[in-house]
Amino acid sequence: MAEQWHKHDMDLLGGRRLRRTRRTAWSRAMVRETTLTPADLIWPLFVIEGENQKTQIRTMPGVERLSVDLCIEAAKQARDAGIPALALFPNTPDHLRSENGAEAFNPDNLMCRALSAIKSAVPEIGLIADVALDEYSSDGQDGLVRDGEVLNDETVEVMIKSALVQSKAGADIIAPSDMMDGRVGAIRAALDASGYEQTQIMAYAAKYASFYYGPFREAVGSGSRLKGDKRTYQMDYANSDEALREIEQDIAEGADSVMVKPGMPYLDIVRRARDNFNIPIYAYQVSGEYAMIEMAAAAGAIDRQGAIVESLHAFKRAGANGVLTYFALEMARELTQ
């Protein structure tokens, strides 16, 4: 009976055995559809004041905030590992945070000093500057607030000023992460008019109002001061078609590349973006995703290294050109061994 079933089964398959190519490591490598290299990875760094200073982030085991001099050393390590770019996020001191977020366009702010110092010491590595007000505002919102409403056009005006001082300080890519309407076009026009026509814009085009950002907000010091939520400007996680409209709009306004954030819970958005737009697409493996892998591994629930590698391949398989990930340095070194 078993022999008859086997013959019938093989007849239906036409003699095909799909497991043949999976049988050995060399064969699996030969037919692998998705590859991961250090050039696919962008390393986010959290910057703090001081010298030779590093502070732990409670909800992100293994990730530290670094003073500017230590960021320079991190940049050298990234360069040597083949990582093409860093994404910088400042933890602005409390006394410099305000309702109007004016520290965002102070040419001597923490972000600008970090950009300048790293670019001077490690000119070979690209620098991506976050542009949003949550790192500078006293209420933790990404925009200016009046009577409980997050203002769009007034926020864009501040973001333009911030983008200009960051470009002057050495930013290669301006990354508006706020989700205000029209900010990509306004920043592009301002950059071009000020002689920064070579500065790229990586637009956080499909950024969702997600619960996966908690550890990041702790890292930049905005979480405990956040009043309300960000649902009036970041996207509803129930929506997919809306993401395509947002991406299309940012491309029309002059974005050089676009971002989907968060990452793995939104791989369907990465895939739809890849299928619909001919533009570099990046995904952010956000702090909550990082924390879940680390904490699950610490609990013995998953294999840490295997989960990291699998998750990063998932981004590439979905269509991302690259991934912002806190595992970047570790992974880049692993890939070049």
- Residue positions annotated with a catalytic role: 207, 261
281: amino acid identity, one letter: I
Q: How far is CA 284 from the centre of its chain?
A: 4
Q: How far is the C-alpha of 318 from the C-alpha of 267, rounded, in Å?
A: 6
**DSSP state for residue 62 in the 8-state scheme:** T
Residues 6+ apart with CB under 8 A from 106: 96, 112, 165
Tell whether the torsion through CA atoms of 278, 290, 213 and 47 is positive or negative: negative
* Count of beta carbons in the 10 Å neighbourhood of residue 25: 8
Element (H, E) at 200: strand 200-207
Q: Is 157 annotated as a binding residue?
A: no
Per the CB < 8 A criterion, the answer to whether 202 and 128 are in contact is yes
For residue 331 the two structure tokens come to 């992974």
Binding site for Mg(2+), by residue number, is 246
Binding site, by residue number, is 246
